[in-house]
Structure 1
Amino acid sequence: MSSGDPHSGPGDHEPSFGNPLGIVEGPVEQLRIVEALLFAASEPLSEEQLAERLPRGADLRWLLVTLQAFYSSRGVNLVRVGGKWTFRTAEDLSFLLHKETVDERKLSRAALETLAIVAYHQPVTRAEIEEVRGVAVAKGTLDLLLETGWLRIRGRRKAPGRPVTFGTTQAFLEHFGLEAIGDLPGLDDLKAAGLLDGRLPPGFQIPMPSDDPTLRDDEEPDDQGHLDLSLMPGLDDDEAAR
C-alpha cells in the first residue's frame, strides 16, 4: 500500500459502482466517505460516529490508517486528539497561519498556572488550587477558564461548604493536541523544557493525571448550579497577594 494513494485496499477490492440504492461497499468509496465526514465536521469525530455512516463490515481502522498515511506529507494531516479524529494543519506549516490563529484574549500567567494545576491534580477545588500555587485565585481566573471551555465543573467535594471540583474537558485535549490526559509532559519533560527548577526538593513528583468523568468517593453531584463561582469580588483578575 502506498502512502501516496489511498485507493488500494485489502485484497485490492474495487468499489461497487452503479448500485441503484446507492449502497457503498468498496474500500475506495468508504475512504471517500470517511474523508468527507472528517472534512465537513466542525469538531473531531469518534470512531463510533464514523462507523455509523459506513456499511456494515467496513474496516474503519484500516480506512483511518490509510487516510492518515495519505495525508502525512500534505498540508493537512489526519490526527487523533482526545480519542477522536480530525484534520489539522501540518505542524511545519502552522507558522503561515499564525495571524489567523492568535487568540483574542491572552491567558495571564495566573490563568495558565491554574489550568496546569487542574490538569495534573483534577478533581481539584479552588482552595486546593490556592494551596498548590501559594496565592489566592482571583475572581476572573476560573470564570475565564470555564468560558474557554477548557475547564468544567465536575461536582462538589464531600467536605464542609461542599466546594465545587474542577476538571479538564475534551476541548482542552483538542486545543493542546493531546490524545489523552496521560499525554501531558512528565517530570523529565518539564525539566528539559526549562519549566521546572532543576533544584527540586527530594522526592518531588508530578501527579499522574486522570480525567475520568466518574465522580470519586469524596465527590458528589453538583445540585446548586455553581452559584458560588462569583468569588472574592475585591480581587482583580490577575491574582491576589499572598
Structure 2
Amino acid sequence: MKPYSILDNLIFLDIETTGIDSKNDKIVAISAVKIKDKLVTKFNTLVNPNRLIPLSIFVLSREITQEDLAISPQINEVMKELLVFFEDLPLVCLNATFEENSLKVSNAFLDLLDLFAILFPELTEFNLQYLLNKFIPHYKEENHTRLSDAENAIKLLNYAISKFYCENGYTLPMSITELEAWNWYKYLTNVNMDDVKGFLENKPIVFKNNADEPYPIFALKDYEKLFEHKDLWRRNGRSYTLRPQQSLYEKD
C-alpha cells in the first residue's frame, strides 16, 4: 500500500478554491486519496470556476493555470464522480470546517489539526507548514503537487499516531480514553499496534521527550473552542471546566 496509512477505511481530502470564503468562492481543484481495506485509490481533478482566478491562487497552486481551468469539468459533473469515490467513508482534512462548507456532502469530516491540538497541546502552532516541518523528515515544499496536501495529511497522521503511542507505551492514556464524544476517539481506540510498529520499523524516527520543556499556554489559542464542548469533555458524570486563564489567552 502506497502511500502507507496506519488508519484504514478513510479518505484524505484537499481542495483548492478561488479564495478563503467557503460560501462565495469557487472550487478549482479537488484531490483525494482513499485507503479502503489497505488498498489505495486516488482522485485528482481541476474544476472550472467560470471566473477569472486571482494571481495569488496561481502562486499558491503552481500547477494550475487559467487555461487549464477553462477546459476543466464543471463542479456538478465532478461531484457526481466524487460522491461515488467517497462512498460513506470519513473524510480527513487539514481544515475540515472549510472543506465541509465547500462540498456539502453527508460524509463525516475529521479535522487533522484538531487531532494534533488534542494529542500535542504543547505545540506552539497548529498549521500545515509548521506540522510538516516538525514531523516530516526532509520535507521539501518545492516538490508540491495537487495531490501533495492529501498525501502529506497521511504522513502527518502516521507520525501523530505513532509518536503518541510510542510516547505512551503503546497504550491510550486515561486523558484520551475518557473522550468518547470526540470524533477521533473511535479511530484512535481501534488502531492496530502492528501497523504502528510496522510504520516505526520502516522509518528512522527518534522522538524527542519534551516532558521537561515549559508548557506554552498560548498553544491552544486557535483551538480553544474544543474545550468549550461540554459533551466532549464530560467524563464519568464529571465535566471539564474551562479555566479563566484560557479565556484570557483566547482574547490576546
Q: How would you bin the TM-score normalised by the shorter chain?
A: under 0.3
Q: Which structure is larger by alpha-carbon Rg, 1 or 2?
A: 1
- The structure richer in helix per residue is 2
TM-score, with length taken from structure 2: 0.26
